[in-house]
Copies of this chain bind each other. A is one copy, B any other.
Amino acid sequence: MTQMNRRILLASRPQGPISSDNFKLEAAPLAPLAEGQFRVRNLYLSIDPYMRGRMSDAKSYAQPQALGEVMLGGAVGEVVESKHRGFAAGDKVTGMFGWQEYAISDGAGVRKVDDSIVPLTAYLGVAGMPGVTAWYGLNKIIAPRAGQTVVVSAASGAVGSVVGQLAKLAGCRAVGIAGGERKCRYVVDELGFDGCVDYKGGNLYRDLKAATPDGVDGYFENVGGEVLDATLARMNPFGRIAVCGMIAGYDGQPVPMKQPSIILTMRLLVQGFIVTEHLDVWPEALSTLATLVAQKKLHYRESIVEGLEQAPEALMGLLQGKNFGKQIVKIA
Chain A residues within CB distance 8 Å of chain B: 53, 59-61, 224, 228, 237, 243-246, 249, 254-261, 263-274, 277
Contacts and interface: CB of A to CB of B under 8 A. Distances in A.
A271 B272 contact: no
A256 B261 CA distance: 8
A63 to B, nearest CB: 13
A205 to B, nearest CB: 14
Given A246-B261, A267-B271, 6 more contacts: A53-B265, A244-B264, A264-B272, A265-B272, A267-B273, A268-B271
Contact of A263 (B258, B266, B267, B272): B272
Nearest to A270: B270
A61 B265 CA distance: 5
26 contacts: A53-B265, A61-B266, A224-B260, A244-B264, A245-B264, A246-B260, A246-B261, A246-B264, A254-B261, A255-B260, A255-B261, A256-B256, A256-B258, A256-B260, A257-B257, A257-B260, A263-B272, A266-B272, A267-B271, A267-B272, A267-B273, A267-B274, A267-B277, A268-B271, A268-B272, A270-B270
Contacts of A277: 267
Interface of A is mostly: loop
B265 A259 contact: no
A145 B224 CA distance: 31
Max chain B C-beta neighbours (<10 A), residue from A61, A268, A272, A273: A272
A245 B263 CA distance: 10
Given A246-B260, A259-B254, A260-B228, A269 B266 contact: no
Contacts of A228: 260
Closest 7 CB pairs of A and B: A256-B256, A257-B260, A264-B272, A270-B270, A257-B257, A246-B261, A254-B259
Nearest to A263: B272
Nearest to A232: B260
A255 B272 CA distance: 21
A261 B273 contact: no
A173 to B, nearest CB: 21
Contact of A237 (B61, B243, B257): B61
A238 to B, nearest CB: 9
Nearest to A250: B261
A277 B238 CA distance: 11
A273 B237 CA distance: 10
Contacts of A249: 261
Nearest to A228: B260
Contacts of A264: 61, 243-246, 272
B259 A256 contact: yes
A242 to B, nearest CB: 10
A60 B265 CA distance: 5
Nearest to A254: B259
A270 B270 CA distance: 5
Contacts of A254: 258-261
Nearest to A59: B265
Contacts of A271: 263, 267-270
A93 to B, nearest CB: 28
